[in-house]
Amino acid sequence: MTSGLLGYIAVGCAHFSLARAYCQESFQLGDYAQDSNLAAWARGLQSFCEYYAGRFDNALHYAEDGLARNATGPQSVRLAINGVARASGKLGDIDGVHRAVEAAYELLPRSDAPVGVPSSISLESYSPAQIAGNAATAYLSLAKPDRVEYFADLALSEMSDANSPWGRSLVMIDVARSHVLSEDADLDAAVAIMHEALSPTRGRLMLQVQRRGSEFVRDAAARWGTTPELRTVEDVLASSREER
């Protein structure tokens, strides 16, 4: 578990080679201990690492291997939605995303499903809010703004600045990008959502937020060009990078 947590932290610092080493160590130790849940958890972290490293084929492979090892265990929901669905979205596999989202809901424990927003790196199952948030991200990669809005609303109804400040930020950035992609795109509304998501009260921006924020700027600039409104978002992202 310690190796896996160090790998997760290394991803957040964009130290992907170090993250791979820690996550591989976590997987090997879990495998040696014959702890299928721990090994599947480590596979989820490896998938997470490769997703943010931009190696989406590898992210999909690790998630699918984790599911093969722990098909109905506590990590199966996370592997399906955070691993398979998001990687499939980046790879443009619409059917793969549909199947993974459906599978995540089907794998959710019926009697003792987690409530609210538990830790995203828990050894327990993901919650419905976490499924919805990751589904929104997967459909965003497929440029499906209606699906993004639907799942984002489900996720945000359970997320607050108190129980999941960064999770809420990530979902809100997805919503802002969905505004950019929609036919009746509204730059002012999208920028307002971005400023709320990047609120300085949240502290230094984590890698995942930085990455998605940069994707928002790219998409918005492609549609409207560089505008004064968009530069205010760029300034927030730039100031956070300087702090790092």
Residue-wise pLDDT tens digits, 3-37: 999 999 999 889 999 999 999 999 999 999 999 99
Would you say residue 209 lies in a domain?
Answer: yes
Would you say residue 32 lies in a domain?
Answer: no
Lowest mean pLDDT among 19-28, 52-61, 146-155, 184-193: 184-193
pTM above 0.85, yes or no: yes
Would you say residue 175 lies in a domain?
Answer: yes
Please say if the pLDDT value at position 159 is more than 70.
Answer: yes
Rounded to 5, what percent of the chain is helix, strand, coil? 75, 0, 25
Would you say residue 36 lies in a domain?
Answer: no
- The predicted structure's pLDDT at residue 45: 97
Q: Identify which of 52, 104, 53, 57 has the alpha carbon closest to the alpha carbon of residue 81.
A: 104
- The predicted structure's pLDDT at residue 242: 58
Indicate the length of the chain as a whole number: 244
* Residue given tokens 């690492």 in the structure block: 49
Would you say residue 71 lies in a domain?
Answer: no
Q: Give per-residue pLDDT as tens, 123-147.
A: 989 999 999 999 999 999 999 999 9
Question: What is the C-alpha to C-alpha distance for residues 67 and 168, in angstroms, rounded to an integer?
Answer: 27
Q: Identify which of 187, 210, 185 has the alpha carbon closest to the alpha carbon of residue 197.
A: 210
Structural domain boundaries, residue 218 = 162-244
Q: How confident is the model at residue 70 (pLDDT cuts 50, 70, 90)?
A: confident
Question: What is the C-alpha to C-alpha distance for residues 109 and 131, in angstroms, rounded to an integer?
Answer: 13
Would you say residue 228 lies in a domain?
Answer: yes
Would you say residue 1 lies in a domain?
Answer: no
Would you say residue 23 lies in a domain?
Answer: no
- What's the number of domains the chain is made of? 1
